[in-house]
Amino acid sequence: MANRVATNAAINRISSDLTRTFNRMSDVQSQISSGRRLQRPSDDPSKVANAMEERATRRRLEQYTANATDASGWLKATDDTLVALQEQAAQAKARATSAVNGGTSAATRQAIAADIENIRSSMLQLANATYQGRSLFAGTAAVAQAYTASGTYDGDDGAVSRTIDEGVTLQVNVHGTEVFGAADTADPLAGDLFQVLGAMADAARSGSSTAMAAASGALDGAIDRMSEAQIRVGGAAVQVDTTIGRNELVMLDVKERLSSIEDVDLAEAIISLRSDEASYQAALGVTARVIQPSLLDFLR
Amino acid sequence: MSNFSALGTGLSALVAHRQAAEVISHNIANANTEGYSRRRVELRAEGPDPVAAVFSHSSHTGTGVRSDGIARIRDDFLEAQHRNETGIAGTLEGTATVLDRLERSFPEPSDTGIAAQLDDMWASWQAIVNNPESEAARSAVLEKGKLVIQSFQLADRQIRAQHGDAVTNVGLQVTKVNQLADQIAHYNSGIRAASVAGLSPNDLLDQRDQAVLELTRLTGATVQAGDNGSVDVFVGGRALVYRSDVQHLVSAEVDDPALDPLGFKRVEVHWEIDDSVADLTTGTIAGYASGANEVLPKYLGQLDAVAEQLVTSVNTLHSTGNDLDGDTGHDFFDAAGTTAATLALSADVAGQPRHLAAADASAGPLDTSLAQSIAAIGRATAGPDASYRSMIVALGSEVQFFTQQSDVQNSVVQRLDEDRKSVSGVNLDEEMVALIAEQHAYSAAARVITTVDEMLDTLINRMGVVGR
């Protein structure tokens, strides 16, 4: 629109154009050196919300993975203990069978009863197994041992659970009552494993085959109960392993998405920087040629 | 018509062209002076001398050139446009500056902002699940809680400091406005005196107009022409400068029930003389004032709301749970601290990790279902994290909007500045050409005088000397 350009107006215009190009260049340069395209909320407000959500998801996934690893440890410790318990139970059954076979003397029977009691106390020790200082079978009770020395259950039936994924909470424990059965003060044979073993030792000592048969049947029931617990633990362990594998894949996805939102595409940014540099240099060259000559150079 | 009148004509040319050359050199000297309007000598051909007679007649020969004064080349309409847009640019500059600094208090997305601290805290609640009997895991939750509190408090302190700065800026700018108003009144009186005496106070006019431009950028003032070349400056409908009189402004902080809960006062500009409110809607002062009165309180209020939501949602669950000793009813956050500044761990749990309730009330103390519920607050769609995210998005959008508007307005102002300089700005090449023309005219006039001198010499010294 202007037919006439004042000298300092032209210079102001050149100066502000150069500044603008230079600012653009330095923005790109700062993106490249920090590796981040999104440095402030105003860089891209809608993407910032996505970035914050992805970061929150990433943090949660990290925690879920830690939880799942811990759950896996619990389940493995429980499983190992249950395997050992099964072995002991099988031994007790074998001893009991040999006790009712005919021709055993009182001394032998006494020895067998002592064996069974030994097995009982070693199983009691296994029942008090711990994982990282925490009793495996005590539920959510804050006790050092799930079973007292006399065989009373000191824990509760609370569930120890771990959140291994969004909204997926898994119970990783089996409590004492579930594994060993509930105590029954009236009828030891209907009570927990330790009561059954105690009754079995008495039956061996007494030599009564009916008592022994009943105790043996109760022991079978206890062994079945432990097997069911083992199955449940095994199933949970499989679920945890699958989840750990899946979480790793999801974590990769999240990191990729976060990177695509936040990080600068290095190739694109460098190309942009090169072209900005080229236009900046061209602008500088033109400026030098345009603002220098004036009529004064040509007058004597 | 005398013999010597040609000398007078030549002399008038010398004087006029010398004056023109002086004006041109003044232009060139001020080529880069901001606000300078180029000058031009108005030359007028002088008519013949009248002869006193019954029937007056003259020889119809002109008697040279006179200068009619020095004109100032300026387009008032373009100047007015430029001024108005400068006022708007000032408003946007003020608001954009306040918002830009506010945004720096919220470095999102990053590993150090409030969002990351909240994420870490929820994760630490999850971590208790793995070790409910461990006091170390509970202490970790308390530490993460403290980090969250610190980041809220830091943001609060920064916003309050920015508010203080904005209020101080308003005060400083009001002082500047008063100084400029005094200068304009001073120039006005000089200009009026000079105009009445018939002089052209061009330099005073330029300096006064430059002061008016600065004033408009600060206050969005309007300008009306007064008498004898003076201008009256109006701010918010009242006269700031009227002829040579000035009404000063003063910045004041008044109580505002909307800002009381945040502990802020409203910053306003008042007329010093009667303490009534000066209605400034454009200009940098208005920008900073709106930043202090509206923008900063808005976002601080939202931050406080996030803090309150955090306290309420955590405490509601936490107080129903059992701690390691089986006790219930503890608060995690201090229930009285529901703003970002007062956020704190409650006395129940501070330094006492055993009092952290992770267990549901109906289960044993090593239960962790409550800890998981508390950790799940982090991903609630209406929870504190979601509210914080919306606040950040709103802030980012507002900053982006005002920054863009400010850039656009600055280009508009620059274009108008070029337009007005196309009329009033100095072009060095043009001035050089004009200077050469004046130089030639001066040489020619000097030659005329030399010629007339030789003619007179012939007349005086060589007439009537025949035979000598």
Q: What is the pLDDT of residues A197-247, one digit of tens each?
A: 888 888 888 877 788 888 888 888 889 999 999 999 999 999 999 999 999
CA proximity to B367, closest of B310, B332, B324, B308: B324
Helix (H) or strand (E) holding A144: none
Q: Which residues, in sequence order, are CB contacts of B27 under 8 Å at separation 6+? A: B38, B39, B426, B431
* Cβ B64 vs Cβ B46: under 8 Å: yes
Tell if the CB–CB gap between A158 and B363 is shorter than 8 Å. yes
Report d(CA B331, CA B320) in Å as an integer. Answer: 9
Locate the chain B residue with the closest alpha carbon to A140.
B366
* Cβ B360 vs Cβ B174: under 8 Å: no
Tell if the CB–CB gap between B375 and A163 is shorter than 8 Å. yes
* Mean pLDDT along residues B372-376: 89
Q: Which residues, in sequence order, are CB contacts of A66 under 8 Å at separation 6+? A: B127, B130
CB of A1 within 8 Å of any CB in chain B?
yes
Tell if the CB–CB gap between A295 and B429 is shorter than 8 Å. yes
Chain B nearest CA to A246, separation (Å): 19
Task: State the DSSP code for A134.
Answer: E
Q: What pLDDT score does A1 carry?
A: 47
Tell if the CB–CB gap between B109 and A55 is shorter than 8 Å. yes
Question: Counting beta carbons within 10 angstroms of the beta carbon of residue A221, is it exposed (0 to 12), middle (13 to 18) or buried (19 or more)?
Answer: middle
What are the Cα distances from residue B108, in Å, to A24, A51, A254, B402, B403? 22, 9, 18, 19, 18
Q: What pLDDT score does B333 carry?
A: 92
Tell if the CB–CB gap between B109 and A38 is shorter than 8 Å. yes
Instruction: Quote the mean pLDDT of chain B.
Output: 90
Report d(CA B138, CA B131) in Å as an integer. Answer: 9
Residue B234: pLDDT band by 50, 70, 90 thresholds? very high
* Cβ B312 vs Cβ B337: under 8 Å: no
pLDDT at B260 over 50: yes
Percent of chain B with pLDDT over 70: 98
Q: What pLDDT score does A2 carry?
A: 52
pLDDT tens profile A101-153: 666 778 888 888 888 889 998 999 998 988 888 888 888 777 888 888 888 88
Q: Which residues, in sequence order, are CB contacts of B211 under 8 Å at separation 6+? A: B180, B183, B184, B187
Query: Closest partner residue to B367 among A6, A55, A140, by Cβ?
Result: A140
- List CB contacts (< 8 A) between A53 and chain B: 389
- List CB contacts (< 8 A) between A160 and chain B: 366, 368
Residue B2: pLDDT band by 50, 70, 90 thresholds? low
Report d(CA B452, CA B441) in Å as an integer. Answer: 16
* Mean pLDDT along residues B351-366: 84
CA angle B434, B436, B441 (to 5 degrees): 95
The two tokens of residue B449 are 């005088």
Report d(CA B311, CA B316) in Å as an integer. Answer: 8
Tell if the CB–CB gap between A161 and B368 is shorter than 8 Å. yes
Report d(CA A74, CA B380) in Å as an integer. Answer: 29
Q: What pLDDT score does B434 carry?
A: 93
pLDDT at A24 over 60: yes
The two tokens of residue A226 are 């432990």
Bigger pLDDT: B176 vs A10: B176
Report d(CA A196, CA A209) in Å as an integer. Answer: 15
pLDDT at A162 over 90: no
Q: What pLDDT score does A108 carry?
A: 82
Q: What is the ipTM of this complex?
A: 0.77
Q: Which residues, in sequence order, are CB contacts of A212 under 8 Å at separation 6+? A: A96, A99, A100, A200, A203, A204
